[in-house]
Amino acid sequence: MLLQFSVTNHRSIKDTAIISMKASTDKSLSDCLISSDGKKQLVPVLALYGANAAGKSNVLHALLLMREMVCGQYAKLLKGETLPQEPFALTDQDSEPTSFEVIYFYNGIKYAYGFSFNKTGILNEYLYHWPNDREALVFSREGDSYRFRENAQEQLTLAGRTAENRLYLSSSNEWNCPQTEKAYLWFFEKLTGFMGTEMRLDATLSAIRQGGSEKNRVLHEMLHADLGIKDIRVTGTKDEPIISALHTIDSEDGASKEFWLPLGLESVGTQRFFSRIGMWLAALESGAVLVVDEIESSMHPLLTRHLIEMVQDAAINTNHAQLIFTTHDTGLLDLTLLRRDQIWFAEKNEKTMQTDVYALTDFSPRKGENIAKGYLQGRYGAIPFIGGNATWVE
C-alpha cells in the first residue's frame, strides 16, 4: 500500500510536489478506508484535478517512471547509457537533479525509498524500513560511497558491481540480496498503471485465455457495463491476438442470432473499458496500486464511476488495492463517492510555470459543500482561465 509519493524537478514540477494517501480525521465514508498495520488509515482512491497543461499527469508520470527505473525498461541500462531525466526546463540555471521518494507498506512493514539522479548517474539512494515500528537503515548511497546496516561486506561487493547509472535496489536483487528483496518486490508486484489513452490489453487477454473464473469475472463486468457483449474469444498468436465479441440479436419472431464482431469495430469506449477491466480486476486481486491517467477517456461517466466504486467498496476491495487517477470529470467531485481527503489539485503558476500540488482539505470545505460547483467557480484553483489577459495580435 502506498502512503506517500514525492517528486522534485520533473517536467513542470520544479519544487517538491507531494501526494499522500493518509486519511484525515474526516468521518465520512469511513468504511472505505484501508490499513496495513491496523494503525494508520489510508484512502484507497486519490483523484487529481487540474487544467490542461497544469502538470497533473506529470505527477503520475513520475511515479511510473520511478517504477521503470527500479524494475522496468530503465533498470538494466548498460554502463554509459543515459538516464531518463526530464528536469524543469524553463530556467536559466544549470539543471538540478531529479528526486523521487515513495513511502509504502509491503507485507505489513513500512518502507521509505528514494533516490536522486541526473542524465549520467544516480547521485544518492536510500532505503529505510520500520520492523517492529522502529526506523532502521537498510542502505544509503552517496555517489560511490555506501552504508549498510546488515551483511555489509557482501553488500559492498554487490555495490561494487553496481554501475553509476543503475539503482542499487535493482542490481542487488539480481544477486538475490535478502536485505532489499521485499522493498524491491513492492515495485515489481504492487505498482502498475498507464498514461494517457494507452491501451493495455495484457491483463484482460490473460484472463480470457485462462478461462474459468478469471474469464467469467471479465465477462460479468462487461455485462454489468451494459455493452451488449455476451462472450469474448481470443484467437491468433500471443503477439498478434485476434479479439472478437459475441452479440445476440433477437428477431421479431423471437428467434435469436449470434454474431461475432471484431473488437476493433466496437466503440472506442467499449475498447477502452475492455482494455482496463482486466488490469482493474488484477489490481483488486493482488492489492496493487493502480495509476491511471485520464480515467474518463472515451468512457461514459457511469462506467468511470463504476470502476472507482469497485476500489472504494470494501466488500470488493478485500485486498486493499489503491487507485490514483487524473481527471477532468467534475461529476466525480461528489462527496457521496469520494471523501474530501481523496480530492487533490494541480495548478501551474502563471509567472513561474511551475506545478503546485495540494489537497482539497487545505480549504477546509464544509461537509455538505457542493465541491463540483465550487471547483468550477474557481474556489479551489486548478481551472483554466479562459481568455485571460492575452490579446491576439496578427
143 by DSSP, 3-state: which?
coil
Specify whether the CB–CB gap between 122 and 167 falls below 8 A: yes
Q: Give the 3-state secondary structure percentages of the chain, helix then strand then coil, rounded to 5.
A: 30, 25, 40
Q: What confidence score (pLDDT) does residue 250 get?
A: 87
For the segment 294-312, the average pLDDT, to the nearest whole number, is 95
For the segment 240-255, the average pLDDT, to the nearest whole number, is 90
Residues 155, 9 within the same domain: yes
Q: What confidence score (pLDDT) does residue 392 get?
A: 54
Task: Select from 242, 273, 304 the last residue of a domain.
Answer: 273
CA distance 199 to 50: 23
CA distance 216 to 175: 39
Residues 69, 181 within the same domain: yes
Quick: pLDDT tens for 266-297: 999 999 999 999 999 999 999 999 999 999 99
Instruction: Tell me the one-letter amino acid at 381.
Output: G
Its pTM stands at 0.95
Task: Select from 220, 241, 273 the last residue of a domain.
Answer: 273
pLDDT at 255 over 90: no
For the segment 353-374, the average pLDDT, to the nearest whole number, is 94
pLDDT bin (cut points 50, 70, 90) of residue 92 is: confident
User: Cβ neighbours of residue 72 under 8 Å, at least 6 residues apart?
Assistant: none
The answer as to whether 163 is a domain residue is: yes
Residue 153: how many other CB atoms lie within 10 Å: 7
Residues 163, 251 within the same domain: no
Q: What confidence score (pLDDT) does residue 366 get?
A: 87
The answer as to whether 287 is a domain residue is: no
CA distance 244 to 377: 45
pLDDT at 240 over 70: yes
Residues 120, 249 within the same domain: no
Residues 18, 167 within the same domain: yes
pLDDT bin (cut points 50, 70, 90) of residue 107 is: very high
Weakest-pLDDT range from 102-116, 158-172, 199-213, 309-323: 199-213
Residues 167, 259 within the same domain: no
pLDDT bin (cut points 50, 70, 90) of residue 354 is: very high
The answer as to whether 248 is a domain residue is: yes
Residues 223, 150 within the same domain: no
pLDDT bin (cut points 50, 70, 90) of residue 298 is: confident
Residues 325, 358 within the same domain: yes
The answer as to whether 382 is a domain residue is: no
Specify whether the CB–CB gap between 380 and 343 falls below 8 A: no
pLDDT at 390 over 70: no
| Range 187-218 burial, b when 16+ CB lie within 10 A, else e | beebbbbbeeeeeebebbbebbeeeeebbebb
pLDDT at 389 over 80: no
pLDDT bin (cut points 50, 70, 90) of residue 200 is: confident
Q: What confidence score (pLDDT) does residue 391 get?
A: 55
Specify whether the CB–CB gap between 8 and 15 falls below 8 A: yes
Q: What confidence score (pLDDT) does residue 388 get?
A: 58
The domain tally of the chain equals 2
The answer as to whether 282 is a domain residue is: no
As a residue count, the chain comes to: 394
The answer as to whether 53 is a domain residue is: yes
120 by DSSP, 3-state: which?
coil
Specify whether the CB–CB gap between 105 and 37 falls below 8 A: yes
Residues 188, 259 within the same domain: no
How far CA 78 is from CA of 121, 164, 166, 246, 351, in Å, comes to 12, 10, 9, 47, 40
The answer as to whether 108 is a domain residue is: yes
Q: What confidence score (pLDDT) does residue 385 get?
A: 75
pLDDT bin (cut points 50, 70, 90) of residue 106 is: very high
Give the CATH number, domain containing residue 336.
3.40.50
pLDDT bin (cut points 50, 70, 90) of residue 251 is: confident
For the segment 166-182, the average pLDDT, to the nearest whole number, is 97
**Mean pLDDT of the residues in the chain:** 94
pLDDT at 197 over 80: no
Residues 73, 153 within the same domain: yes
Residues 56, 170 within the same domain: yes
Write out the three cell numbers for 95.
Answer: 539543471
From the list 312, 310, 254, the residue with the least C-alpha distance to 278 is 310
How far CA 149 is from CA of 136, 178, 214, 293, in Å, comes to 8, 13, 43, 38
The answer as to whether 389 is a domain residue is: no
Instruction: Tell me the one-letter amino acid at 378.
Output: G
Q: What confidence score (pLDDT) does residue 387 get?
A: 62
For the segment 160-176, the average pLDDT, to the nearest whole number, is 97
Going across the sheet that includes 45-49, the strands are 191-194, 289-292, 322-327, 45-49, 343-348, 355-359
Angle, alpha carbons 378-380-385 (nearest 5°): 35
Quick: pLDDT tens for 73-83: 999 999 999 99
Domain that holds residue 232: 202-273
Residues 66, 49 within the same domain: yes
From the list 259, 241, 234, the residue with the least C-alpha distance to 249 is 259
Dihedral angle at the C-alpha atoms of 311, 316, 321, 325, nearest 10 degrees? Answer: -10
Write out the three cell numbers for 2.
Answer: 502506498
β-pair partners for 260: 246
pLDDT bin (cut points 50, 70, 90) of residue 253 is: confident
